Amino acid sequence: MPAHLILGGARSGKSRHAESLAAASGLPVTVIATAEALDDEMAARIRRHQDDRPEGWRTVETPVALAATLQREASAGRCVIVDCVTLWLTNLMAGAEDLPAPADAGRLPALQAERAALLDILPTLPAQVLLVANEVGLGLVPETPLGRLYRDEAGRLNQMLAAVCERVTFVAAGLPLALKGAA
């Protein structure tokens, strides 16, 4: 079943939109959560997301091995939400601040390998897959080389995902706008 990429800014309603699509599918739902509770504020955010999900939805915590987790969880007759691809990218770029300037993703082999695996597996998955990602390219240019590398890699990843997904939706102010395929 083709994947659906759901993009938006912070607090745009993209996760809520993905959750409403999953609920409307009538399928059993698994949420693949990529966030790690590295501080109290992030732990509170994760709890809020968990509390907002309907009972019966499974959650699988996967900070890095997304393609392998999708291979295992995205079986026929299921709906899988990946929330969020951008945090997954953050996890893959951990340690990038130690790269000598100018930083480039070519020196991040885990990022290259995991991204390639994700792009290879997505078109083969029989589940309905909803990928939630931040659109970070609409804001200010980051001050640091690492911030610019992250923004660039997020933009590249979103473009690559959009190319392999049958549907792409941009969410702003809670309103979905179909960019590719049906809304």
d(CA 41, CA 45): 6
Q: Which entry of 16, 49, 148, 151 is annotated as an active-site residue?
A: 49
8 Å CB contact between 182 and 167:
yes
d(CA 125, CA 122): 6
8 Å CB contact between 31 and 57:
yes
Closest CA to 42 of 31, 34, 53, 52: 34
Residue type (1 letter), 146: L
49 is catalytic: yes
The residues assigned a catalytic role are 49
